[in-house]
């Protein structure tokens, strides 16, 4: 009897072979570049096929010992190749290719044991780690001891502190849930760390536009203050500096949009028009100002951004966020909608993240408050932008015309989007 062709099995084996080829191509290019290597394209494809066959037979024959034997055999071949290469070219001693070969065998096994998506994700990630050797080493070289400690603190805050916090309200009004508060603190800290890492990866002297955009993920206020300070130096290129400030504000609008919709995805449709309008208005003028000064001197000073995460700073933000949550809860019970708007405007004077996450949490739990939450977040961002604009107007030298134009365009865009929406 003829058995029907099993397309799922074919896809599993095809995935394993393609991932082996992807990793093998990267290693083959490295072998050509360095003139040495124990495994290339064909070897990696065969290793992926070996793992795939081992995984398939283990599942089909219900003999789980088959796959460990296959992996051990592959590891033995890889180790033998390593020592053979070490004897002939000791200066090329290293374990990256050998470990990648074993990982390839295991990825092939994942593809045929019902975990194809996991295999694809790990395969692509492994290929990226192999291909971006130099940028990753450069990034590590730019990190200091304090940065490593900060990473450890973030892991501590995520995997030790978070599970220990109670997952229920601890106040009489039902506004403060410690675990949710800390989770939102980690969300903002994570976004800030993305900006910080981007700034360290790019390094100094990469231009105002790049450093401002990367730094704004950590703190648009810090970028604004840094560029305002640069405008006071002799020979400062005020047009480009104003463009960098407006670009940082544009990134801030996008960051707020992402943070709010991560907490409450239902807000995306309501938030999108206003925040896209403000981001486009700010980013468009930033592009004009930066483009107009493109023939000025090539490199700009880097925006000085410190590592934004510390347990003390996270604790302070948690207290600020808790205070905003409590004010909003009391305002909901005792104040009209205008009172919520006033709280949002006051909170936005110092920090836009706390009020953003507070209102997003309200919108997630109280569906009827979505419109109120959207308006409050826009007001908070407008308030925060006005404060930064005031700093630029008061302290910036030669920035006033640019900043007035940019602030006015943002305000008009935001109000128009709200009214039309």
Nearest Cα to 214, choosing from 317, 302, 313, 311? 302
Q: How far is CA 19 from CA 52, 56, 102, 122, in A?
A: 11, 16, 13, 9
State the pLDDT at residue 297.
40
Q: Please check the confidence at residue 134 and state whether its pLDDT lies above 60.
A: yes
Which pTM value belongs to this model? 0.54
Cβ–Cβ under 8 Å, residues 406 and 368: no
Q: How far is CA 132 from CA 120, 126, 166, in A?
A: 18, 10, 41
Cβ–Cβ under 8 Å, residues 174 and 318: no
The pLDDT tens digits for 257-283 are 988 888 888 888 888 888 999 999 999
Residues 23-48 have a mean pLDDT of 75
State the pLDDT at residue 301.
45
CA 314, CA 327: separation in Å to the nearest integer?
A: 20
The pLDDT tens digits for 54-99 are 888 988 888 888 888 888 888 888 777 767 666 666 655 567 777 8
**Phi, psi dihedral angles at 217 (to 5 degrees):** -65, -25
The pLDDT tens digits for 183-206 are 767 766 665 566 566 556 655 445
């Amino acid at each position: 009897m003829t058995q029907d062709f099993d397309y799922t099995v074919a896809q599993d084996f095809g995935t394993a072979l393609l991932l082996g080829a992807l990793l093998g191509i990267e290693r083959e290019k490295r072998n050509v570049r360095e003139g040495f290597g124990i495994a290339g394209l064909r070897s990696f494809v065969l290793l992926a096929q070996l793992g795939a066959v081992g995984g398939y037979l283990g599942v089909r024959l219900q003999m789980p010992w088959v796959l460990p034997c296959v992996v051990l055999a592959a590891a033995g071949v890889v180790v033998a190749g390593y020592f053979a290469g070490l004897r002939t070219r000791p200066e090329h001693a290293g374990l990256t290719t050998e470990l990648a070969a074993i990982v390839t065998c295991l990825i092939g096994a994942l593809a045929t044991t019902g975990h194809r998506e996991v295999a694809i994700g790990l395969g692509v990630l492994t290929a990226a780690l192999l291909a971006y050797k130099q940028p990753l080493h450069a990034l590590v070289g730019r990190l200091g001891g304090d940065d490593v400690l900060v990473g450890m603190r973030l892991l501590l805050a995520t995997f030790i502190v978070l599970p220990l916090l109670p997952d229920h309200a601890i106040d009489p009004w039902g506004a403060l849930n410690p675990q949710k508060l800390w989770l939102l603190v980690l969300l903002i800290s994570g976004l800030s760390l993305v900006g910080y890492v981007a700034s360290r990866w790019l390094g100094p002297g990469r231009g105002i536009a790049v450093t401002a955009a990367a730094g704004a993920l950590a703190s648009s206020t810090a970028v604004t203050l840094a560029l305002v300070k640069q405008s006071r130096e002799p020979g400062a290129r005020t047009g480009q500096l104003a463009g960098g400030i407006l670009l940082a504000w544009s990134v801030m609008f996008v960051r707020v949009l992402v943070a709010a919709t991560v907490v409450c995805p239902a807000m995306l449709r309501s938030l999108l028009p206003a925040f896209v309008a403000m981001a486009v208005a700010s980013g468009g003028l930033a592009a004009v100002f930066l483009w107009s000064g493109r023939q000025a001197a090539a490199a700009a000073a880097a925006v000085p951004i410190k590592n934004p995460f510390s347990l003390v700073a996270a604790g302070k933000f948690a207290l600020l966020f808790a205070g905003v949550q409590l004010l909003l809860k009391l305002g909901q019970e005792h104040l009209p909608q205008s009172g919520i708007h006033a709280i949002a405007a006051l909170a936005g004077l110092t920090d836009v993240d706390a009020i953003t996450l507070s209102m997003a949490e309200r919108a997630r739990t109280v569906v009827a408050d979505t419109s109120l939450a959207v308006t409050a977040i826009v007001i908070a961002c407008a308030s925060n932008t006005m404060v930064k604009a005031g700093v630029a107007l008061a302290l910036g030298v030669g920035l006033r015309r640019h900043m007035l134009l940019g602030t006015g365009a943002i305000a008009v865009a935001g109000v128009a989007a709200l009214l039309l929406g």
